[in-house]
Amino acid sequence: VHRLRSVDNLFVVVQEFKDYQFKENKEDALKDLEDLVKKLPWTNPLKVWELNNSLKKKKTKRKKHNLQSTASKEKLNDDGEEEGRDQKDASKQEDCAQNAAGVEPVSGQDTEKTQGAASRNGGEEEEDNEQSDAKDELQAGSGSETKAGDGKTSEGEAKVLKFRVTCNRAGDKHSFTSNEAARDFGGAVQEHFQWKADMTNFDVEVLLNIHNNEVVVGIALTEESLHRRNITHFGPTTLRSTLAYGMLRLCDPQPTDIIVDPMCGTGAIPIEGATEWPSCYHIAGDNNPQAVKRAANNICSLLKKNENKESSTSLGIPLDIVQWDICNLPLRTGSVDIIVSDMPFGKRIGSKKKNWDLYPACLMEMGRICTPGTGRAVLLTQDKKCFAKALSRMGHIWRKGQTVWVNVGGLHAAVYLLKRT
Ligand SMILES: C[S@@+](CC[C@H](N)C(=O)[O-])C[C@H]1O[C@@H](n2cnc3c(N)ncnc32)[C@H](O)[C@@H]1O
């Protein structure tokens, strides 16, 4: 399951309640959540967690080894644009974006923002997300060899597990906040298992996902989102690799296809494409020189990372990055099989006003380079009105296929599949 390309986070379900009846009174509702802890079937989910832990440990060991051998070479910064900062921000935000597979949350929900807005990876969040208060922060080791069932390490000595509860709540009918739910549920977990609460250095992360009347209790199997696999140099609108993968899959790439992202930014789409569809040739470009530089740096980081692996990318990846203007692409007419692109929403990049000129020009130029009859495009935008208008004038070039609704950092966006006429 860790190899699934379009999944951000993995967790094992302890129990799911489709229609949980929350009491109206806050104290009663929280008391019910507390009481729930001892009624849940924890045994098998904890076995899955243990199994996952042992697999994860092997993976970490390998990772550490690779890191050691490349540590001195990982200095690919552009203009002091460090690798850590944006990435860290993105991970913080993505913790809040708990709607699996990026599906748009139901509108009209209670929306408590507990973390600040930043990048498109999850900046404008609509869900409430808190972790339980950690009273004691333990200093003991990571406990990755600890068995959840018997509370002992593999060496046999007693070892207390550390845990935290993360509550993701969406809905306007709850009398409590996610923070209160996480705190009280967490307190009961602590009492039930005799584990210790630790917000940062935890062994087990218990998830309490509340969506209106639906409650899912789970145990996390991933520490950081799986979308953070390719990018080291982030930009203001870096797309999740998981969403990039879904977009690429939508146009069903075939070996030898030429795939173009004409507005690639930091390169999330073409890098995912070149990694997952290495038998295609990928060309990407952007008119912003800094974006092109970041994309190039991301490719370099990936190549360095894979240097010591016997992977298909050890000899390079089938991807070229060019600085260009989408309105005047240096590509032959009808030479491209697939276009996959994340267009400026007009919020962080460009403006809604500029999109009225940009979108028709984009569709026209994309239509020129794409092979008539078989060519296809998958385009992501949140500026749906402008896109629809531009497309309505291009009926002779593009035929609209499927539309997939996606949540991009809390924004309701659309992925359009277009077929070249
Ligand atoms: C939404 S961002 C793409 C983000 C990208 N998917 C990533 O992962 O970083 C849109 C990109 O379009 C680029 N762009 C805007 N106008 C353009 C133009 N006329 N020609 C080429 N690129 C353009 C912007 O510089 C920006 O990087």
State whether 219 and 234 are in the same domain.
Answer: no
Between CA 195 and CA 193 the distance in angstroms is 5
Domain end marker among 187, 206, 223: 223
Q: Is there a single domain that holds both residue 167 and residue 285? A: no
On whether both 192 and 298 belong to a single domain, the answer is: no
Listed in sequence order, the DSSP H helices in 40-127 are 43-70, 84-96
What is the distance between the alpha carbons of residues 336 and 8, in angstroms, rounded to a whole number? 30
- Domain CATH number, residue 23: 3.30.2300.10
Are 383 and 356 within 8 A, CB to CB? no
Which of 170, 202, 223 is where one domain is finished? Answer: 223
Look-up: residue for tokens 């994860």? 56
Q: What is the DSSP string of 26-50?
A: HHHHHHHHHHHGGGS--HHHHHHHH
- Least-confidence region, from 74-78, 307-311, 377-381: 74-78
Answer whether residue 71 shows pLDDT above 50: no
Residue 309 lies in a domain: yes
Helix, strand, coil percentages in the chain from 3-state DSSP, rounded to 5 = 35, 20, 45
Question: Are 158 and 243 in a shared domain?
Answer: no
Distance CA 189, CA 221 (A): 18
pLDDT of 246 above 80:
yes
Residue pLDDT, tens place only, 113-122: 332 223 355 4
What is the tens place of the pLDDT at every residue in 270-311? 999 999 999 999 999 999 999 999 999 999 999 988 877 766
CATH of the domain at 358: 3.40.50.150
Other beta carbons within 10 angstroms of residue 39's beta carbon come to 8
Residue 6 lies in a domain: no
CA 264 / ligand 1 centre spacing (Å): 6
Let me know the angle formed at the C-alpha of 224 by 219 and 227, rounded to the nearest 5 degrees: 115
Taking residues 147-161, report their average pLDDT.
Answer: 60
Q: Is 413 in the pocket of ligand 1 (CB under 6 A)?
A: no
Q: Mean pLDDT across the stretch 164-187? A: 96
Instruction: Give the type of residue at 160.
Output: V
The Cα 90–Cα 118 span in angstroms is 8
pLDDT for residue 313: 58
Examine residue 186 and state whether it is found in any structural domain, yes or no. Answer: yes
Q: Is the CB of 342 under 6 A from ligand 1?
A: yes
Note whether residue 412 is domain-resident.
yes
Overall number of domains in the chain? 2
**205 and 243 fall within a common domain:** no
Structure tokens belonging to residue 356:
């009225």
| Tens digit of each residue's pLDDT (9 = 90 or more) over 85-113 | 333 333 333 333 232 222 223 333 343 33
What pLDDT is stored for residue 152 in this prediction?
47
**Nearest CA, atom 13, ligand 1:** 263
Mean of per-residue pLDDT scores for the chain? 81
Instruction: Determine if ligand 1 sits within 6 Å of the CB of residue 87.
Output: no
Residue 265 Cα to ligand 1 middle (Å) = 5
Q: Are residues 261 and 218 in the same domain?
A: no
Could you tell me the residue range of the domain that residue 185 belongs to?
11-223
- Same domain? For 107 and 175 the reply is yes
Across 205-226, average pLDDT: 94
Positive or negative, the Cα torsion across 33, 35, 41, 47?
A: positive
Residue 4 lies in a domain: no
Q: Is 298 helix (H, G, I), strand (E, B) or coil?
A: helix
